[in-house]
Structure 1
Amino acid sequence: MKIVIIGGSGHIGTFLVPRLVRAGHEVVSISRGQSARYADDPAWEQVRQVVVDREREDASGTFGGTVAALGADVVVDLVCFTLESATALVRALRGGTGHLLHCGSIWRHGPSAKLPIAEDAGTPPLGEYGIEKARIAAMLKQETASGGLVTTSLHPGHIVGPGWHPIGPLGNVDPGVWTTLSGGGTLPVPGSGAESMHHVHADDVAQAFELAIEQRDAAAGEDFTVTAPTALTVRGYADIGAAWFGQTANLETVTWEQFRSGTSEEHAESSWGHLHRSHAFTIAKARDRLGYSPAYEPEAAVLESLRRLIADGRLETARPLAV
């Protein structure tokens, strides 16, 4: 098939594009051309690269037509964040493209109330990002149910992979957290420490997209949560992370006010966003209907990321990894 990937050079596309090339598909990658992919692969030599500024074309109302003109059998949209943008793309592809797959987010669900969270459960989303992702998923489901374009939405957890900082034990990307854990220092933890986060390796997300493409009938009109098999609590994640450096985690419970006063506003807001939601999901639907089988437990995915960051000189730790 001819497959167009919107955002092909990003986290998921870095792994998805080579997968699809190796499966024998003709792949076109659309991106702004402003960033390099996170890992090299010879498969990219067979990929057609198209440079498009989506934000600009969405504003002018031309982006959907640009994508439709490529004549794809399948379109994978990895970088859509508003209902308006998603709706415009659906209208442009309706009747001409066989399958549209959208990358959503577990943040379409609000704070946890009952665990694990299934696709049709959960509380209402918080914040513009989560609200828009929930609206997009509902629109796509209705589009297919009404006989329109065949669509599928996949909703990854906190994406982890080599080349970028993972969401850490405090729910942010503050490198100082790893400095503290690796040096045996005291890490201030807001809340109870029992809050959970659900990561996923980018290649496992790519696996799920590939499976949904291959099994169009099983995926048509459906939404799937795509995460690692298990989730990590703050306390458990910190314990595991400290052990990688031969240390024991020393955690100090603090109030959110105390925590905010000791870090940046950006890191504090990220921590609140992740820990307040305290997410843990079931992947039963993706496993049963698509055969999704993630290769990475969350801690293995994070460790792989840390190894690359340290090797590239992008993360300084008090002690070297002991694993």
Structure 2
Amino acid sequence: MKTVVIGGSGHIGSFLVPRLVRAGHEVVNISRGTSTPYTDSPEWQQVRQVAADREQEDRDGTFGDRVAELGADVVVDLVCFTLDSATALVNRLRGEVGHFLHCGSIWRYGESLKLPLAEGSDSALIPTDEYGIQKRDIARMLKEESASGGLVTTSLHPGHIVGPGWHPVGPLGNFDPTVWQKISGGQTVLMPGSGAEMMHHVHADDLAQAFEKAIDRRDAAAGEDFNIVAPTALSVRGYARIAASWFGQEPHLETVGWDEFRRTSTPEHADTSWAHLSRNHCLTIEKAKSLLGYAPRYEPEQAVHESLRWLVDHGQLQVSSPA
């Protein structure tokens, strides 16, 4: 089976592409060609690389032609962020490929009303940020496309992706590296909110597993959308307690209001914390388990710990003691 992966050199593709090669797929990776995969797997030697600037080719109206001309059976789009881009590609690939898979996001859900969040439920408010709105609208378009008898599509919606090679969303719901220095050194961490807010991570390889299973089970995945997250979610307090234990520490959290938190943080980190924690996301994966056979290997804390160890070992994160 010939499979084209758009954006295969990033977080997800670094794990997905080798999986597909091992499964016997003929894989073509379309990327800008400016980065290398996070994992140095020998399977990459069997992958055809195609360099393309998607944003420019979307503006020129040529990106769909580039993908279609590769003659794929399956197309996996890992880097589509607007409804216009997704619609243009679907219109061009209709009748050309057997299965189109899109990487969405759990940010298609707004603030939680009831937990856990399930696909198609009314358990969350609508998203208010542009990223979440676009991901929601793409997922809706894909379902309508398949329901109308057009292109067979599937959308997978990951939580906060984590793995070796990049910084995870931390206990405060942002990417501030100083939180790890404070936790590892037993220092006090200022915590906005109640500490009960939830975050739902997923290891990049578990997400890659879900894509592989969706390809293998095309009939079950056709026209469907799936939450793809770890088996459990982390609360702010729980996350901080688990993380402190890696360094032989007890967590020291001081509750502050959001105004105080913003005064003691950068605007970027404060906005990111609010975006994550105000959503209070915890999702169910029962649909993916039932229809796809999705079986995540990583609990969220295991995925985060692996990521931190990689960052420390590669000199990209300073902590007070080994994790």
What TM-score does the superposition give when structure 1 sets the normalisation length? 0.99
State the Cα distance separating 1:154 from its structure 2 match.
0.2
Could you list the runs of 5+ residues in structure 2 that have no partner in the other structure?
none
State the Cα distance separating 1:308 from its structure 2 match.
0.2
Amino acid at match of 2:5: I
- Secondary structure at the counterpart of residue 277 of structure 1: coil
Map 1:159-238 → 2, pairs under 5 A: 159-238=161-240
Map 1:303-318 → 2, pairs under 5 A: 303-318=305-320
Per-residue deviation, residues 200-241 of structure 1 (Å, max 9, x unmatched):
000000000000000100000000000000000000000000
State the Cα distance separating 1:126 from its structure 2 match.
2.2
What TM-score does the superposition give when structure 2 sets the normalisation length? 0.99
State the Cα distance separating 1:281 from its structure 2 match.
0.2
Q: Distance in 1 between matches of 2:7 and 2:322?
A: 35
State the Cα distance separating 1:277 from its structure 2 match.
0.2
State the Cα distance separating 1:47 from its structure 2 match.
0.2
Amino acid at match of 1:136: I
Pair 1:89-2:82 in alignment = no
Q: Distance in 2 between matches of 1:66 and 1:250?
A: 54
- Secondary structure at the counterpart of residue 194 of structure 1: coil
Q: Distance in 1 between matches of 2:248 and 2:128?
A: 38
What residue is the counterpart of 2:283 in the other structure? 281
Aligned CA-pair RMSD: 0.5
Q: Distance in 2 between matches of 1:320 and 1:303?
A: 11
Q: Which runs of 4+ in 1 moved over 2 A?
A: none
Pair 1:131-2:106 in alignment = no
What residue is the counterpart of 2:75 in the other structure? 75
Amino acid at match of 1:128: E
Amino acid at match of 2:39: A
Per-residue deviation, residues 165-212 of structure 1 (Å, max 9, x unmatched):
000000011000000000000000000000000000000000000000
Q: Distance in 1 between matches of 2:125 and 2:212?
A: 29
Q: Distance in 2 between matches of 1:302 and 1:126?
A: 28
Q: Distance in 1 between matches of 2:228 and 2:240?
A: 23
State the Cα distance separating 1:35 from its structure 2 match.
1.2
Map 1:24-173 → 2, pairs under 5 A: 24-121=24-121, 122-173=124-175
Amino acid at match of 1:118: A
Q: Which moved more, 1:302-311 or 1:34-43?
A: 34-43
Q: Distance in 2 between matches of 1:274 and 1:285?
A: 24
Q: Distance in 2 between matches of 1:126 and 1:38?
A: 32
Map 1:6-25 → 2, pairs under 5 A: 6-25=6-25
Could you list the runs of 5+ residues in structure 1 that have no partner in the other structure?
none
Q: Distance in 1 between matches of 2:289 and 2:114?
A: 20
Amino acid at match of 1:276: S
State the Cα distance separating 1:252 from its structure 2 match.
0.2
State the Cα distance separating 1:37 from its structure 2 match.
1.0
- Secondary structure at the counterpart of residue 113 of structure 2: coil
State the Cα distance separating 1:123 from its structure 2 match.
2.0
Q: Distance in 2 between matches of 1:139 and 1:10?
A: 25
Q: Distance in 1 between matches of 2:312 and 2:28?
A: 33
Amino acid at match of 2:50: V
- Secondary structure at the counterpart of residue 263 of structure 1: coil
- Secondary structure at the counterpart of residue 34 of structure 1: coil
Q: Distance in 1 between matches of 2:271 and 2:199?
A: 15
Identical positions, percent:
69
- Secondary structure at the counterpart of residue 319 of structure 2: coil
Q: Distance in 1 between matches of 2:10 and 2:197?
A: 29
What residue is the counterpart of 2:5 in the other structure? 5
- Secondary structure at the counterpart of residue 273 of structure 2: helix
Q: Which moved more, 1:147-156 or 1:258-267?
A: 258-267
- Secondary structure at the counterpart of residue 266 of structure 1: helix
